[in-house]
Chain A
């Protein structure tokens, strides 16, 4: 899974020469062969390296603070999101929904690597939601839909239908 993500990221970044990837261990941690240096291990480590290779530093944030917020969500992706237990999904969606209520992107005012990797990591979760569940985390699905429509981001993943009009009225009425 991580390898397909990295291949999609390479295409999104417009990297002409694909890198050599493999995986290690039971958890299939991605490994990238790195010409004259030791191989790089780990999804976030490799993704950040690819962004630098493509000379797109703005994708890692445009200030020290912006870079920190990008890293925060990258770390969230590989710690909280990738190792979540089934019963955690609700609280993850609830937290993200609150965070995204006044935001277009996860960090700052433009697309960053954190949006791309969180989108890849969230895809299977969003795909499994019912229409009603999607409406309960409308800020997450709005963000998700926005990212999947960014040119060149989606690649290996099928689009997820997100309705923009409510089918269900609020349960509290």
Chain B
């Protein structure tokens, strides 16, 4: 098994953390953002995992889920739900937030973009009163959401408002050695700056998604 990742790519943060947290044996190759690994995809897609059968997994949540399953931790309904929320709701919001913070240098506007998603996370953690997202043990959902939020939540220049439960959960997951080491490998201690090259290659977020939270951009 071989895992292909690139520096400064936030999705690679998730899979490297999942790899370290689960302890699954797998080779890791750092390559450039533009390198094609999956033969049938016309656009480069990283991270990608080459399976023993020669097939590829080409999205970070599926790779993380697989690594946890190899480690004997099958994904529960609740885990599945967090992963689906992360991929369909949180990712478009994060893409917009990172675009603003990394490429436009307008860190002060990030907070309003992320507010809704952080509220969902905060309220859910507060209501369930659990240590981690799906219970008392770390699951794939924690690692995936931590990896997705790490670039914005660990940057002290961004002000993100008051989300006590979410912040406490984030710090708990971030304290795991696997997460720290993955963050170091992908972001090299450079924070948001490390993602510049990656973000420049991403399509600009669709403007209509921003209308409700960014009135200044809708004219």
Interface residues of A (CB under 8 A from B): 29, 37, 40-45, 48-49, 64-65, 67-69, 71-72, 75-76, 78-79, 82-83, 85, 91, 94-95, 98-99
A-B Cβ contacts below 8 A, count: 74
Interface-side segment among B83-91, B154-162, B173-181, B189-197: B83-91
Interface residues of B (CB under 8 A from A): 39-43, 51-53, 55, 57-59, 61-63, 65-66, 69-70, 77, 80-81, 84-85, 87-88, 91-92, 206
- Whether A75 contacts B51 in the complex (CB less than 8 A), given A41-B85, A45-B81, A95-B41, comes out as no
Q: How far is the CA of A78 from the CA of B92 in the complex (A)?
A: 12
Most buried by B among A44, A45, A78, A85: A45
Contacting residues, chain A, for B80 (C-beta < 8 A): 42, 44-45, 48-49
Contact: A71 with B91, CB < 8 Å? no
Contact: A79 with B59, CB < 8 Å? yes
Contact: B81 with A72, CB < 8 Å? no
- Whether A85 contacts B206 in the complex (CB less than 8 A), given A41-B85, A42-B85, comes out as yes
Q: When A and B form their complex, which 5 residue pairs have the shortest distance between CB atoms, in order from nearest?
A: A42-B84, A68-B66, A98-B40, A99-B40, A45-B80
Give the contacting residue for A64; candidates B39, B69, B92; CB below 8 A: B69
The residue of chain A having its C-beta at the shortest distance from the C-beta of B43 within the complex is A91
Contacting residues, chain B, for A91 (C-beta < 8 A): 42-43
Give the contacting residue for B42; candidates A41, A72, A95; CB below 8 A: A95
| Chief secondary structure at chain B's binding surface | helix
Contact: B87 with A75, CB < 8 Å? yes
Most buried by A among B42, B62, B85: B62
New A-B contacts (20) at CB < 8 Å, excluding given A72-B62, A91-B43, A94-B42: A29-B88, A40-B81, A42-B84, A45-B81, A49-B77, A49-B80, A64-B70, A65-B55, A68-B62, A68-B66, A71-B65, A71-B66, A72-B59, A75-B62, A78-B87, A83-B88, A83-B92, A91-B42, A95-B41, A98-B39
Contact: A79 with B87, CB < 8 Å? yes
Give the contacting residue for B57; candidates A42, A44, A49, A69; CB below 8 A: A69
Give the contacting residue for B58; candidates A72, A78, A83; CB below 8 A: A72
The residue of chain B having its C-beta at the shortest distance from the C-beta of A80 within the complex is B59
Contact: A45 with B65, CB < 8 Å? no
The residue of chain B having its C-beta at the shortest distance from the C-beta of A49 within the complex is B77
The residue of chain B having its C-beta at the shortest distance from the C-beta of A73 within the complex is B62
Q: How far is the CA of A102 from the CA of B14 in the complex (A)?
A: 31
- Whether A65 contacts B51 in the complex (CB less than 8 A), given A41-B81, A45-B81, A79-B91, comes out as yes
